[in-house]
Structure formats: structure tokens, C-alpha cells
Structure 1
Amino acid sequence: MSMFDIIGPVMIGPSSSHTAGAARIGLTARHIFHEEPAEAEITVYGSFAKTYKGHGTDKALVAGILGFGADDVRLRRSFEIAAERQVKILLKTSDAEVAHPNTVRIRLTGKSGRTVEVVGVSLGGGKIEVREIDGFDVLVTGEEHTLMTFHRDKPGIISRVSGILAADNINVSTMRVFRSGKNENAVMILSTDSPVPAEMVEEIKKIDGISNVIAMLPL
């Protein structure tokens, strides 16, 4: 058991699951998007939908999308800051059935028109999981250095990415691959013991069949 498990996360209150967790989901969505958002459409479900006003879940989600951590005092003013930055915020509630009560769907749109849609859940104690990216079932916790590749499912991609990382002595702790079907779209998520340099990300992007690569630091 760690001190985090005993005393909980450093955060702006009142709830680790509804506030700190929400901020971390928003921040993870921003990192995955890898672009300054011009618009954020946020749909909250379950307990999030029922109690978001009292717990400040809406403010926390927006704060994360703007790049603020769970302990940032600007969290309380996130809607005002979004307006100042001309980031349009659309918040909706849904009574649709979801697998976890603290679930949110975030759709980000950039000035370029590019979009990403992320589904995340808050597990309590500030811990989160991103379980869906653009319709793909995934699992991203934000607790480790993470490299994600979006590619066509075909032989050789996994070995080529692994080879590039190994050549620079970057150790992979876990790897998961999710695909929509054989020879169709796929996502590979690797957790590494150290950050993946930007130049290596660019090298991986050049692999035939890879459409995008995202490197994330721990939250």
C-alpha cells in the first residue's frame, strides 16, 4: 500500500473520484488529442450526471481539457478561462446505461477541424482509465510513460516499433493491441520505463501503415 492509497491525491476538492479523477480524464483527453482544442463536447453519465454540479465535476473536466492538473487552483475558474481562450464548451447529461457510474465521453475539436473522442471512467482516489478512443476499446491509465500507435493491422508493425525503442534502450513494461478486425484499424498501447523522445516518435510515424503516434508523460 502506498501513501497515495492512504491519504489520497493532492487536489482541489471536494471529491477524489468526481473532481480529481474528472480533471485527470480531461487532461488525458487533451494529451491524446495533442492539439489546443477549439471546442469540447462533454457528455456525463451515471453518478457524474447526477452530482456533477455539487462536486464540481464539470469544472474539473474543463480544467483538465485546458491543461490544468487536479491540484491547480484555476480549476474553480475553468469555464471562465475557457471563454477567455475562446474554447467552446458543450456539456450534456445522459441517462444511457454505462458499465461504470463515473463515466464521461469527451469529443475535442481543434481549429484544424481534427477531432478525437475519448471515453473515460473515474475509479476513485483520483485513479482513472480511458477505455475508448475514437470507437476503439483501449486501456490507458495515465500513470506511466505511454506510447500509442494508430495503424492498419498487418504483420511487422509491432516488431518495427519494438525495434526502434530497443535501439535506444527504452524498455517496454506492458503492451496491448486492440483492433477492429483482421487487417483493419488497430491501436497499440505501450507503457515504457522512460519517456519516448520526440525524434523517435517521428521515426515511428514513418513506418508504413501507421497513421498517428502519440507519446504521453505520466499525469
Structure 2
Amino acid sequence: MKYRSAFDIIGPVMIGPSSSHTAGAARIGRVARTLFNRQPKKAVISLYGSFAKTYKGHGTDVAIVGGLLDFDTFDERIPTSLKLAEEAGIEVVFSIEETITEHPNTVRINLYDDDGDLEVVGISIGGGTIEIIELNSFKLKLSGEHPAILVVHNDQFGVISAVTQILAIHQINIGHMEVSRKEKGKMALMIIEVDQKIDRQILNVIEKIPNVTQIIRMVD
């Protein structure tokens, strides 16, 4: 496994016994909350591999729900997150899955409310570091550690170059970018991680590009 820094090995400041099972789980939950862009009414949390086997002992359950409540890894409210979620009116359902996944620390989170739903698959790869590997059936790779935008668009010529040109005009440096699509000519997803936060005004310009249907902004 390749680590970017010593902090990936030491792990983050956190509540809980395990950087992979607690801090990483909390980060996955919080990224899911950010992508949903609001507090859900219901969360179905499907646990795989070692997450499924040790989730209660390692606090994976309270960590994920804490993330869904927008708590950081060091938030002292994490141990009581299940109760706090109930008080906030969030229905939480845990599902223990036997399917063998590529990574042992895998969770699928489905969020619901009256305005829509979201499905996120994340993995905790050690030291509190995570990757979001699937979003609404789109395959992707998102760390959640850097400012990023997710651009949903029709798979048409010129959309990608139009988006990157706007970022270049505003001197926004791209650190990582990839495009995922389910079918040629249909819906596609652009994932762009950048070195600085992107102002709302810039996103407004991107939203006006033909064939762009939605933008989700993530900040570090």
C-alpha cells in the first residue's frame, strides 16, 4: 500500500479505537452527507468484509452515523451518534452483507428523503484515508481530502473541454480528474479535484454550459 505521508500511517486525531474502522468510517459517512447536501431522513448502511464482522466492537456503526450527522473524526459526539440520529428523526438501518468485496473495509450507504436518494460506496484504506469508489452506480475514485466538484452531464462532445477551460481561465489547478459514464452518449460524471476552493460564481458559469445537468461541490 502506498502512503502519501507519515500521517497516513499514524492516523488522524479521532474518537475511537481504529483509524480504518472508526476514523475512515466517519469520513466515508461525512462525504456521503456532503454529496447528499442535506440531512437524510433514512440511511441504509450495508457493511462488507471486516466492517461487517467487527463494526460494533470498533465503533464503525457510530462512526458512519456520526459522519452522516456531519461530525468530524475527533467529534466527541460520535459515540452517541445513533441516539442523536434518532432524536434528529433519521431512520438508520444496518445490513450485514456476505458478498466478498475487493477491499475488506467496504460500506454501501443509501440515503433517502422526500426530495431524492443517493447511493455511495466507500472503502477505508488505512490511517483514516478513504476512497469513494461508486456514486449512484458511477465508478469513480474520490478521496474527499481536497476541494472537488462533481459535474453530472450528458456524454456529448466538448463538455469536458468547456469545463476545464473555465477552470483554467480562473487559474484553478486540477490535481486529479476522471470521467465515468454508464453508456456512450448517455449520462456521464466528471470528478475534478483541485488545489483551492472554487467560488460559487465559477460554478454558476459551469452550470450554464450546454449538457451540464448538475454540479456538486465538495470542500476540504
Give the TM-score range, shorter chain.
over 0.9
Confirm or deny that 1:2 pairs with 2:5. Answer: yes
Structure 2 equivalent of residue 61 of structure 1: 64
Q: Which amino acid aligns with 1:206?
A: K
CA contact (8 A) 1:40 1:89 kept: yes
1:83 aligned residue (86, 89, 100): 86
CA contact (8 A) 1:122 1:128 kept: yes
- Unpaired segments ≥5 residues, structure 1: none
* Secondary structure class of the residue paired with 1:53: coil
Q: Distance in 2 between matches of 1:200 and 1:88?
A: 36
Shift of 1:3: 4.0
Q: Distance in 1 between matches of 2:98 and 2:58?
A: 18
The share of aligned pairs that are identical, in percent, is 46
CA contact (8 A) 2:147 2:218 kept: yes
Q: Distance in 2 between matches of 1:123 and 1:92?
A: 21
Q: Distance in 2 between matches of 1:68 and 1:101?
A: 24
Q: TM-score, normalised by structure 2?
A: 0.95
CA contact (8 A) 1:152 1:183 kept: yes
Q: Distance in 2 between matches of 1:180 and 1:43?
A: 23
Shift of 1:149: 0.5
Alignment of 1:14-93 (within 5 A): 14-93=17-96
Shift of 1:214: 0.9
Shift of 1:212: 1.1
Q: Which amino acid aligns with 1:32?
A: L
More displaced 10-residue stretch of structure 1: 160-169 or 88-97 = 160-169
Structure 2 equivalent of residue 99 of structure 1: 102
Structure 1 equivalent of residue 216 of structure 2: 214
Structure 1 equivalent of residue 179 of structure 2: 177
CA contact (8 A) 1:35 1:110 kept: no
Structure 2 equivalent of residue 194 of structure 1: 196
Task: Tell me the alpha carbon deviations over residues 139-179 of structure 1, each in whole angstroms, 9 at most, x when there is no partner.
Answer: 00012111110111111111111122122221112211111
Shift of 1:16: 0.4
* Secondary structure class of the residue paired with 1:199: helix
- Unpaired segments ≥5 residues, structure 2: none
Q: Distance in 2 between matches of 1:7 and 1:89?
A: 31
CA contact (8 A) 1:171 1:192 kept: yes
Shift of 1:6: 4.9
Cα gap change, 1:132/1:158 in structure 2, threshold over 3 Å: closer, same or farther? same
Structure 1 equivalent of residue 145 of structure 2: 143
Structure 1 equivalent of residue 168 of structure 2: 166
* Deviation >2 Å, runs of 4+: none
1:203 aligned residue (176, 201, 205): 205
Q: What is the alpha-carbon root mean square deviation over aligned residues? A: 1.2
2:154 aligned residue (152, 157, 171): 152
Q: TM-score, normalised by structure 1?
A: 0.95
